[in-house]
Amino acid sequence: MGTTSTEVLAFPNIRAIVRDNGTAEVLVAGNSRIVPAGDSVQDLRNNALALVVGEAQTLQRPVRVQIEDPEGHGELIVHPDNKIESVSYEPRPTRRRVEAPETTPETVAPTVIDTVPVAAPEPVAVPARPIAAAAVDRQPWPPNPVETEPATEIPEPAQPSAAGAEVPQTTATVPEAPLTRRSLKETSFLVSAPVLEPATQGWRGTLTRLGLRMDPSAEELSEREDIRTVSQHWPGPRTIAVVNRKGGANKTPTVVMLSAILARYSGAATVAWDNNESQGTLGWRTEKGAHDRSVLDLIDSSQSLLSPSTNAAEIAKFVHHQTGDKFDVLRSDENEEGDHEVTAEEVDIAHQVLTRYYRLVVMDSGNTARAANWRRMIDHTNQLVVPVTAIEDRAEAARLTLQTLESRGGNDAELARNAVVIVSESTDAKRIMTGDALKRAKDEAQRIADGFEPFVRAVVRIPYDPALVNGPIRYEALQPATQRAWLAAAAAVADGF
């Protein structure tokens, strides 16, 4: 380690003592420092080492610490740069138990139990090996402990009876357990627990980039878990239906955001489908491809698209790819006459085609829960999402939508009970919200969220963001807080898969 003995011995009077009664202390130059309690002896060892590391860092020089615990004693060298070396370790001597032999009922001799120490094995020198102080909670103490021999039974000479007659000597025979080996099938060199990656955000991330590895905060761990949830690949396709019987309830922005996040993180082929009865707005708020085809064109070409000989790339003729957010959009019928309403049978055909080419289908919807295409959409749904803005009539329409589904019973009622409600601070006011208006929207969003919480599986709040008010919606244009909220919403949806 390049450390001289003079440096190591400059502050030698440190002892770390762990007792088998569940207490421990660290003595520094005779002054006691109480070690924080732990659930096990190993916890006490870890906490004691942490105190010693602090002393070394305070002194800015290596210190030698004598360790004592129920299993043995030895020495460690702790450096101020968070390195720990094991010097030596000597286990406690094993002890053998001596018991009296069995006696007859007529002459019961008192049982004699004594302990006889057995010579301790030679101390085992452990090569110096630096260990990062950040890993103190995994530091073995003692390092390389020597296994003690199993206790053996030693007979004692027979005791004379009360009448002076000698009782024949007997020996209690204990059969030896056969020596067994672990099967190779039961052994693995793989580490099962994942390694916790260091912090990347906030001041912890800054310190990590400066070379001081820091654990992530609770907020960063929560974000990582949401990312893990939305990054899954589920067996078979999954269909999400975004519904609310009231227009302006934020259905289309919700479809875009869920599609963008699921496509970005999971890498799964994702399509956003505007299942409006006639003309929907999903095509207006997303990128347009080099063609004008819509769901009706896809239905007309369904026989070809479902043919086993058709190449997967053929679907690009009918959908509009989002170059930034990596998902496709299937637009609703946009003919000027508006004389065609999508039927239930056409929903079946379009869904069959899309689930052949995509793992995830996110469906926008119209405002009529009685429409044939709306009801057939529900039949194909795996997860129901009900968006609502911080306006009373939107919230009431969302409640009635859930009530309608619940009253139908069966799968519709199950979808309603497991729905995810996404409450957004008003984004349909067509203006930038500031000051008192924004505060009122926050308060109303919280009130609405609290109202839905007892009746559905999850409720997620989305903060106001001017990037969601008008024009094409892009994930990268959102504020960081809005992106984080939509990630949490997508994770809540994915939990239902």
pLDDT tens per residue across span 109-157: 443 334 344 444 444 443 433 333 334 444 545 554 444 344 444 445 4
Given a cut of 70, is residue 227 above it in pLDDT?
yes
Q: Is 132 left (phi over 0), alpha (psi -120 to 50) or beta?
A: beta
Residue pLDDT, tens place only, 470-489: 889 999 999 999 999 999 99
In 170-248, at which residue ranges do the beta strands (DSSP E only) sit? Answer: 238-242
Residue pLDDT, tens place only, 34-79: 888 877 778 888 888 888 888 888 888 888 888 888 888 888 888 8
pLDDT of residue 175: 60
More confidently predicted of 304 and 141: 304
Residue pLDDT, tens place only, 412-455: 999 999 999 999 986 654 556 667 878 888 899 999 999 999 99
Please give the structure tokens belonging to residue 15.
Answer: 């002892």
pLDDT of residue 72: 81
Given a cut of 80, is residue 359 above it in pLDDT?
yes
pLDDT of residue 279: 80
What average pLDDT does the segment 5-17 reach? Answer: 58
Q: CA-to-CA distance for 62 and 458, rounded, in angstroms? A: 54
Residue pLDDT, tens place only, 318-353: 999 999 999 999 999 876 666 788 899 999 999 999
More confidently predicted of 160 and 315: 315
pLDDT of residue 60: 84
Q: CA-to-CA distance for 96 and 117, rounded, in angstroms? A: 7
Contacts of 142 (CB under 8 A, 6+ apart): 67, 69, 71, 72, 74, 89, 91
Sheet of strand 458-462, all strands in order from the earlier edge strand to the far edge: 320-321, 328-330, 270-275, 360-365, 238-242, 383-389, 420-424, 458-462
**Cut 0.85: pTM above it:** no
Residue 4 phi/psi, 5-degree rounding, is: -80, 160
pLDDT of residue 159: 52
